[in-house]
Structure 1
Amino acid sequence: MFVTPAFAQTATGDAMGASGFLIQIVPFVLIFVIMYFLLIRPQQRRASEHKEMIKNLRRGDTVVMSGGLIGKIVKVVDDGELVLDVGEGGGKMQVRVARGMVQDLRTKGEPVKDAG
């Protein structure tokens, strides 16, 4: 009825040693490799594409902000800020926004020539 210590022990004892350890590690390594190719790598690629898109913003581009605001870039203030025209029909409603909050580039526009 009770299992004696002799039956509870494995027959090989410590004979498997390192190979048994490797067999136990293989599933964890496979899970990490799958996670890398399915999750981590695409996310890094998207982040680098977004960074490149933000770096190449210029006057005349139509952008979508992370809050849903859509506007045309009127002026690039510095590396961190933009001025957007969000007025409809040529209205002069301008908003100053952080460059990093640009989520999407709708259309690449031709830069507007200065009037002066």
Structure 2
Amino acid sequence: MHNILFSTAYAADAGTNGGAFSSAALVQYAPFVLIFVVFYFFLIRPQQKRQRELREEQNSLRRGDRIVTAGGIVGTVQNTRDDSQEVDVEIAQGVKVKVIRSTITTILRREGKPANEA
């Protein structure tokens, strides 16, 4: 007697899937490969490029550049030393601090005096 709720299972022919990597496996993994490629070109690669540019900007700091640190401190570069990772930054008139180059997240280049300053 045949039961309606259960279908009959048939054994697969051993000769049809002889290779370790078949086209069915390629089709099965294609979405994962596609997702990785999309992530690489839209997320990973631009982030690496931005990090490289920031590192170059950190190494080319000069006196007068306005910077923002990872802690949110905004200041003006007063002195840089090539042999050291420290940069002297003035955060208020007469207040200077030493900042590690790698903590600088944004460099706002000097563009001249604003119109509202004398």
For normalisation by structure 2, the TM-score amounts to 0.76
- 2:25 and 2:74 mapped to 1: Cα distance? 56
**Residues 32-111 of structure 1 aligned to structure 2 (within 5 Å):** 32-77=36-81, 78-87=83-92, 91-108=93-110
More helix by share: 1
Counterpart of 2:116 in structure 1 is: none
RMSD: 2.1
Q: Do the aligned partners of residues 57 and 29 (structure 1) sit closer, same or farther apart at CA in structure 2, a change above 3 Å counting?
A: same
Question: Paired residue for 1:21?
Answer: 25
User: When the two structures are aligned, how many residues end up with a matched partner?
Assistant: 104
Which ranges of structure 2 fall in alignment gaps of 5 or more residues?
113-118
Partners of 1:70 and 1:104 lie apart in 2 by 9
Give the CA deviation at 1:13: 6.0
Q: Relative contact order (C-alpha < 8 Å, sep 6+): which is higher?
A: 1
Q: Give percent identity, aligned residues only.
A: 37
Structure 1's unaligned 5+ residue stretches are 111-116
